[in-house]
Amino acid sequence: MNADVQLSLKAEDAAIGPVRAMIAVFARDVRVAFRQRQDLLNPLLFFTMVVTLFPLGVSPEVAFLKQSGAGILWVAALLSVLLSLDHLFRHDFDDGTLEQLMLQPQPLFLLVLAKTMAHWMLTGLPLVLLTPVLGLMLHLDGNSVATLCLTLLIGTPVLSLVGAIGAALTLGLRSAGVLLSLLIIPLYIPVLIFGTGTVAAAAEGSPVAGYLALMGAFLFLALTLAPFAAAAALRISLSNS
Amino acid sequence: MAFDSFSAFLVMEGHGPYVWVCYGVFVLLLAGMMFWSFRTHQDIYQICKRGYEQQSKVGQPKPKAPATFTRVEVSQD
Amino acid sequence: MWQFFHKLGSPKWFYGIATRFMPWLLASGLLLLVAGIVWGLAFAPKDYLQGNSYRIIFIHVPAAFLAQSIYIMMAFSAVVTLVWRMKLADVFVKAVAPVGLVFTFLSLFTGAVWGKPTWGTWWVWDARLTSMLILLFLYGGVIALDRAINDEKSAARAVAVLVLVGVVNIPIIKYSVDWWNTLHQPATFKLTEKPSMAVEMWVPLVLAILGLYLLFGWLACLRMKTEILIREQRTRWVRDLVLAGGK
């Protein structure tokens, strides 16, 4: 654990409010991630490679790609987030930072929320930024790409938040990676359905505001509930080891 | 009886195979699950029994202490 | 009330009660299920629309009912596990999850075989079938997580969290799959609900549902007893019980 964070998270320092603690955790996670840049790059590479597989494996025809491009990009983004979730708590669990966090006077779910937001900024957001390029390669038109980016922007935080529950539950287990996918993929289905559905509606020219509002509802539901579940799961996993 | 004969019952106007496969798998899985659960229970019971008999042969049985230094078990018995 | 609640948490008390009730559960469950199935297979009139293939309903619907209600029961138990740390609640979840998985599989399987003569295809991405498939995944996840954690207590609590997260998601999944289905498919393939079922059809159906519930009760008691034996084998009451030859 970094010395400066330890300082700013000191239990006896009563002046530290929950918001400042969250900012400290967030900043620390971002800084640690930038020291291991390869970990940041991996999900993006994976995302690109999965997308490449579809034209190769199914069909490079423009009509097919136009029709299923949004679905392909959504599935690939979902898988990349899933792949990166294993790192969300793993390093902190191994070096004991997590136990330190748990001993803080600030509520654990806020700190978990901060960690999850950092995770989203480091994996979900780059995926969204990469999407227009891949969207062009899949022959999506401008309108679809814009809608797709918007749905991913709303959807990927949900993926990170829900995934945090799974990551916390499988922390410290032997086959954590596969198990994590088993637990989390069923919970990702609603986001996937509405994400691709919005793009399909936009391609037909129908209004998308309602769909986006629903995805926003998912996001807020996940924001309010997931950190509690993830914090509870973390406590269980740490009492286990 | 909704059918004229037993063979008509088996054939079910061409839908027989579907119906019978469904019922077959249903009965097989349900009976299998019941039997397997029963067998597991018997096995565990026998293992416990053998353990207890060996214990009493060897010497004083050692029932679990209600509490230890490290962890207080709240009994719900 | 609290004394009853307290008693309910006692494995010893449950073991005795379960042993007393199990023969009745088994006998009445088998009786009702067999009666419902025989009635439905041989005596209920043919459906004017689907012909004889509809007779699958007498096992399909009970299996689907149980598949869903077992998950709901597990969710209630999960709350009890997390709030009151009651031993029996997590014994229940652990004992019953595989049963739920089997019933979910059965309802999917019978649905698929029913679909072939009715719709002409084994599988359609119908909203109900898809949400059942997702329920199967949820059961699979619960069982996998339970197997993966060695420590009994943390396994129980982790599984409880997972079951609760799942149960919050089930309505959302159901809703989104319904929505997705109307988006992607014409509504012709829907299993249309009959406004009124003939009495000769629904009486055996109700019998079969009740019978399967009772049999599930028997299975749950049996599997919970096994789990209790494993967990409590070092306690004095199990020792006394087994050495006295009680089942």
Delimit the domains of chain A by residue range. 3-240
Residue C27 has what pLDDT? 93
Specify the pLDDT at position B76: 57
- Chain B touches chain A, with at least 3 Cβ pairs below 8 Å, answer no
- pLDDT of A133 reads 92
The confidence score (pLDDT) of residue C150 equals 84
Report, as an integer, the average pLDDT of C59-78: 91
Interchain contact B4–C (C-beta under 8 A): no
| Residue at token pair 């020792």 | C239
Read off the tokens for C225.
């007893």
- The verdict on a CB contact (< 8 Å) between B12 and C55 is yes
Q: Kindly determine whether residue C180 and residue A240, on different chains, have CB atoms separated by under 8 Å.
A: no
Rounded Cα gap, residues A204 and A67, in angstroms: 11
Q: Which residues of chain A have pLDDT under 50?
A: 1, 11
> Does residue C16 belong to the interface with chain B, where contact is any CB pair within 8 Å?
no
DSSP assignment of A158-218, as one string? Answer: HHHHHHHHHHHHTTT-TTHHHHHHHHHHHHHHHHHHHHHHHHHHHHHT---HHHHHHHHHH
Using the predicted structure, report yes or no on whether residue C225 has a pLDDT greater than 80: yes
Inform me whether the pLDDT recorded for C174 exceeds 60: yes
Q: Which of A173, A193, A232 sits opposite C149 (nearest CB)?
A: A173
Rounded CA-CA distance C7/C49 in Å is 52
For residue C21, the 8-state DSSP code is H
Amino acid at A119: H
Mean pLDDT across the stretch C31-52?
81
pLDDT reported for residue C213: 94
The pLDDT, as a whole number, for residue A118 is: 93
pLDDT band of residue C6 (cuts 50, 70, 90) is low
CA distances for A59 relative to A46, A48, A52, A63, C58, angstroms:
20, 17, 11, 9, 44
**How many folded domains does chain C comprise?**
1
Within 8 A of B18 by CB-CB distance, chain C residues are: 53, 56, 113-114, 116-117
Taking the Cβ of residue C242 and every Cβ of chain B, the question of whether any pair is shorter than 8 Å is answered with: yes
C residues 174-193 lying closer than 8 A (beta carbon) to A: 175-177, 179-180, 183
Inter-chain contact B22–C60, Cβ cutoff 8 Å?
yes
Concatenate the DSSP letters of all residues of chain B into one string. --SSSHHHHHHGGGTHHHHHHHHHHHHHHHHHHHHHHHHHHHHHHHHHHHHHHHHHHHSS--PPPSB-SS-B-----
- Quote the minimal CA–CA distance from C96 to chain B in Å: 11
Query: B34: distance to nearest CA of chain C, Å?
Result: 7
- Residue B63's pLDDT is 57
Closest approach of chain B CAs to the CA of C29, in angstroms?
Answer: 12
Q: Cβ–Cβ of B33/C102 closer than 8 Å? A: yes
What integer best gives the mean pLDDT of chain C? 83
Residue of B nearest to C86 (CA): B76
For range B68-73, the mean pLDDT: 53
Contact A186 C169 (CB under 8 A): yes
Q: Is residue C146 part of a domain?
A: yes
CA angle C145, A127, A27 (to 5 degrees): 80
Interface of C with B in 96-125 (CB under 8 A): 98-99, 102, 105-106, 109-110, 113-114, 116-117
Q: Does C149 touch chain A (CB under 8 A)?
A: yes
Q: Does B38 touch chain C (CB under 8 A)?
A: yes
Q: Is the pLDDT of residue C197 over 80?
A: no
Q: CB under 8 Å to B36, separation ≥6 — which residues?
A: none
Query: Of A26-35, B63-72, C72-81, C129-138, which gets the smallest average pLDDT?
Result: B63-72
Distance in Å, alpha carbon of B41 to nearest chain C alpha carbon? 5
CB pairs under 8 A between A and C: 75
Residue of C nearest to B28 (CA): C106
Average pLDDT over residues C6-21: 81
Q: Please compute the mean of the pLDDT values over residues C128-154 and round it to a whole number.
A: 89
Of B52 and C63, the structure prediction assigns the larger pLDDT to C63
Q: What is the mean pLDDT of residues B47-74?
A: 66
Sequence-distant (≥ 6) Cβ neighbours of residue B1 within 8 angstroms = C42, C43
Query: Does residue C82 sit at the A interface (CB-CB below 8 Å)?
Result: yes
Please tell me the distance from the alpha carbon of residue A33 to that of residue A56, in angstroms, as a whole number. 33
ipTM comes to: 0.84
Q: Is C218 on the interface with B (CB under 8 A)?
A: yes
Chain-chain contact of B63 with C52 (C-beta, under 8 angstroms): no
Nearest CA to A116 among A80, A79, A75, A162? A162
Q: What is the pLDDT of residue C223?
A: 93
Confidence band, pLDDT 50/70/90 cuts, at residue C189: very low
pLDDT higher than threshold 50 for residue C214 = yes
The more confidently predicted of residues B10 and B38 is: B38
Q: Rounded to whole angstroms, how far apart are CA atoms A154 and A76?
A: 16
Touching chains C and B? (3+ Cβ pairs < 8 A):
yes
Closest residue in A to C167 (Cα–Cα): A187
Give the Cα separation of C71 and A52 in Å (integer). Answer: 39
E-only strand ranges, chain A: none
At residue C195, the pLDDT reads: 45
Find chain A residues with C-beta within 8 A of C149's C-beta: 173, 240
Quick check: B71 pLDDT over 70?
A: no
Tally Cβ neighbours within 10 Å of residue A203.
19
Check C137 against A190: CB less than 8 A apart.
no
What value does the mean pLDDT take over residues C74-88? 89
Q: Which of C148, C172, C173 faces A175 most closely, judged by CB atoms?
A: C148
Is C2 inside any structural domain? no
**Residue B71 touches chain C, beta carbons under 8 Å:** no
